[in-house]
Amino acid sequence: MDDKNKQYDPEKFKQVHLKGDDSEKLSRPQLSYWKDAWLRLGKNKGAISGLVVLAFIILIAFLGPLLNDYTFDDADYDAAYLPPKVQGMEWLGLDGMQTYEVEGSSEQDAIDRGLEGYEIEEQYIQNTEVVLTPDESENGYYTVAMEVDVYAAKGYDNEHFWFGTDSMGRDLWTRIWKGTQISLYIGFLAAMIDMVIGVLYGGISGYYGGRTDNIMQRIIEVLSGIPNLVVVILMIMLLNPGIIAITIALTITGWIGMARIVRGQVLKLKNQEFILAARSLGSSDKRILMKHLIPNVTSVIIINTMFTIPSAIFFEAFLSFIGLGLQPPYASLGTLIDTAFDDYRVYPYMLLFPAVIISLLMIGFNILADGLRDALDPKMRK
């Protein structure tokens, strides 16, 4: 040591930093990655409410059909078009009353025509109200809103169809929750198949790289160049429309997104120094895959799958809506919305319930997936 360094007076100095080991102590409680992520998810109010809504819908989707004695495919034409009726919830409008709007040259004429058209006896009319007088309307007729107790009129006084019935008199409560089950099933199945194919394909393509990667990427480019809808329609025409056909149609191009994401991650990871370290220690390919690559792409796979489920559900609904969906008597939320759409002015309840459920599912899955992305990968947060 230099002699000059010894000229200071130690009395004048105070040690401010702790020496040695003390500064190396970690004070934070120790948490694994997944526990940490779970805590972060718990703090995200949006994601938790999404989770609660989803859990609730999934629960009723399975319990709901067991709660009454109707089945989803028993037609009873006498009971067709009964509006929702729930004991004790009449104040909510679930009172089994149906409002028809009828037209006629006078108020009485309109009512008579309505009674004849809907085959209802006069005594079941609860209320009438003129909506439009001839002066206000374009065609010079009266428009009358008449509220009818359809349950009594059709002799179903003692029945309670909670969500009403459809044009064939089938109980909509049971049909809607069965439909929700099928929509969820298609969504989950499609997402799982996408995940398996996408992870394998993207993983192999990224890990082996070079020529393998080149060929596999060209195949993806060709596949994704074909319009999605064309492939789906061909598939559905080829196979009989059913759950399996629709799922296959959805996954035929659906896995591409997952494959691309996984490939990108693997490409990024495989030259990271911790992988090189494992290789220089003599790791086998299998060990690198299982211990290093997969654990580091899991979060991305989970996040992407969570976004795939709602988009599969939505795409199935879309297919149903354009007439490529499930065939009767089976129903999904999409086919229910499709049939309800024909008469939604007179029977809005038929459209309302499945539409609300599918919307809640979409919102629920998306905000949960968003929350998961924030929780699992804080760096990806916008």
Which residues contact another protein by CB under 8 A?
21, 24-26, 28, 30, 32-33, 272-274, 276-284, 287, 291-292, 295-296
Q: Are 274 and 292 in contact (CB under 8 A)?
A: yes
Considering the complex, what minimum distance in angstroms separates the CB of residue 50 from another protein?
Answer: 26
- Can you tell me the distance from the alpha carbon of 232 to that of 234, in angstroms, rounded to the nearest whole number? 5
Give least dist CB 202 to another protein, A. 19
CB of 139 or CB of 280, closer to another protein: 280
Q: Which two tokens stand for residue 81?
A: 């078009």
Q: For residue 147, what are its two tokens?
A: 């509220």
8 A C-beta contact, residue 371 and residue 293: no
Nearer to another protein, 56 or 274 (CB): 274
- Cα(226)–Cα(43) distance, integer angstroms: 42
* Residue 187 near residue 309, CB atoms below 8 Å: yes
- 68 vs 283 by CB, closer to another protein: 283
Q: How far is the CB of 45 from another protein (least distance, A)?
A: 26
Instruction: Name which of 26 and 66 has its Cβ closer to another protein.
Output: 26
Burial 259-296 (b: 16+ CB within 10 A, else e): bbbbbebbeebbeeeebeebeeeebeeeebeeebbeeb
CB nearer another protein, residue 276 or residue 346: 276
Minimum CB distance to another protein, residue 36 (Å): 9
Q: Least distance in Å: CB of 370 to another protein? A: 22
| DSSP code, position 290 | I
Q: From the CB of 37, what's the least distance to another protein, in Å?
A: 11
Give min distance, CB of 282 to another protein, in A.
3
- Torsion sign over Cα 50, 51, 55, 58: positive
Nearer to another protein, 340 or 375 (CB): 375
Nearer to another protein, 32 or 139 (CB): 32
The nearer residue to another protein, 137 or 272, going by C-beta atoms, is 272
- Smallest distance, Å, CB 295 to another protein? 4
Nearer to another protein, 117 or 295 (CB): 295
Taking CA atoms, 249 is separated from 188, 189, 319, in Å, by 14, 12, 10
- What ranges in the chain are assigned the alpha helix state H? 33-42, 45-63, 107-118, 150-153, 172-208, 210-225, 228-238, 243-270, 273-280, 285-287, 294-321, 333-342, 348-376
Between 155 and 295, whose beta carbon lies closer to another protein?
295
CA 296/CA 300 separation, integer angstroms: 8
Shortest approach of another protein to residue 29 CB, angstroms?
A: 10
Neighbour order of strands in the sheet with 125-132 = 97-104, 142-149, 125-132
- Cα–Cα separations (whole angstroms), residue 83 to 97, 129, 183, 244: 7, 20, 24, 33
Smallest distance, Å, CB 277 to another protein? 6
Cα 317 from Cα 118, distance rounded (Å)? 32
